A = this chain, B = another copy of it.
């Protein structure tokens, strides 16, 4: 079998590497990327067997996996489907799903496409960020399963299982709403926290001598790639703005209690927030 991976960054590179290195059957992995230095790096790092351009990959590979920034997907997916036959399978891995699903809602070859989102990543980017076992023990979401052909879904699940992912099914709207709260909001909060501290630091040279692991933890996601996250925020703007409004409202309330010295209300918020403990426990045990 021949598999093409389009977009050789953290996610695409990790998928390619895992298939190329761990697959015992004769699967060939073709890499596609408009960034030529990514192509070169992917070959040097042994992530792929060869590099082709997109049209060559479509005409030679049974499976095409897309791991580009999400804004490109809505252009790319209909174009690729146009050129595919009725046996090939197209799978995306984008972090938002409503726009992706909508862009092919009326496409005659919709059934050859599987809208997926493997929930994995690090704050690093590019082919050199590709990791073995990035997906091990993590979750994968497939949206609009009923619009994909059963054989296409079965093949996609087989690949995701091979990567170590367990697949769940959600409507695209639910996926995007939940992601706004448990992923995208964290990224905006982390980017903004870093910016706030960097701004003040211009006048306060010693400030980072005092930064501890607590700050490092909350600011870690601020290392994330702007090319990846800009399009994610943009394609999930409605739910993300809703999540941000609630977050800012809660921050303003907390700020008011701090200013008033209202320890009773501060404590209430902190005790309510402490209830996140079992959730975080679940994430960290899942990580192992």
Question: Which positions in A face B, CB cutoff 8 Å?
Answer: 119-121, 123, 138-139, 141, 168, 170, 174-175, 177-179, 181-183, 185-201, 204, 206-224, 226-227, 229-231, 233-234, 237, 240-241, 243-248, 250-252, 254-255, 258-259, 261, 263, 266-267, 269-277, 279-280, 282-284, 287
Partner of A276, one of B138, B219, B251: B219
- State in angstroms the CA–CA spacing of A271 and B284 once bound together: 29
> Are A223's CB and B276's CB within 8 A?
yes
> Are B210's CB and A139's CB within 8 A?
yes
Partner of A185, one of B123, B188, B193, B241: B193
Q: Tell me the number of copies of this protein.
A: 2
> Are A193's CB and B247's CB within 8 A?
yes
| A141 nearest CB neighbor, chain B only | B210
| A283 nearest CB neighbor, chain B only | B216
- State in angstroms the CA–CA spacing of A198 and B206 once bound together: 36
Partner of A200, one of B119, B181, B220: B181
Min Cβ gap A162→B in Å is 20
Min Cβ gap A188→B in Å is 6
CB-CB under 8 A from A279, the residues of chain B are: 208, 211, 219
CB-CB under 8 A from A194, the residues of chain B are: 273, 275-276
Interface centre among A197, A270, A275 (most CB of B within 10 A): A270
Min Cβ gap A228→B in Å is 10
- State in angstroms the CA–CA spacing of A227 and B274 once bound together: 12
Residues of A contacting B: mostly: helix
A120 and B197 in contact (CB under 8 A), knowing A178-B206, A191-B273, A207-B181? Answer: no
Partner of A199, one of B204, B237, B246, B270: B246
For the complex of A and B, the 9 pairs showing the least CB-CB separation, nearest first, are A226-B270, A194-B276, A182-B211, A186-B218, A194-B273, A191-B273, A222-B273, A216-B283, A196-B247
Additional A-B contact list (10), CB under 8 Å, known A199-B246, A214-B220, A226-B271: A119-B210, A139-B210, A141-B210, A174-B206, A178-B210, A187-B214, A211-B283, A212-B283, A223-B276, A233-B258
Partner of A183, one of B186, B214, B270, B272: B214
CB-CB under 8 A from A219, the residues of chain B are: 186, 276, 279-280
Min Cβ gap A164→B in Å is 14
Interface centre among A119, A123, A200, A280 (most CB of B within 10 A): A280
> Are B280's CB and A192's CB within 8 A?
no
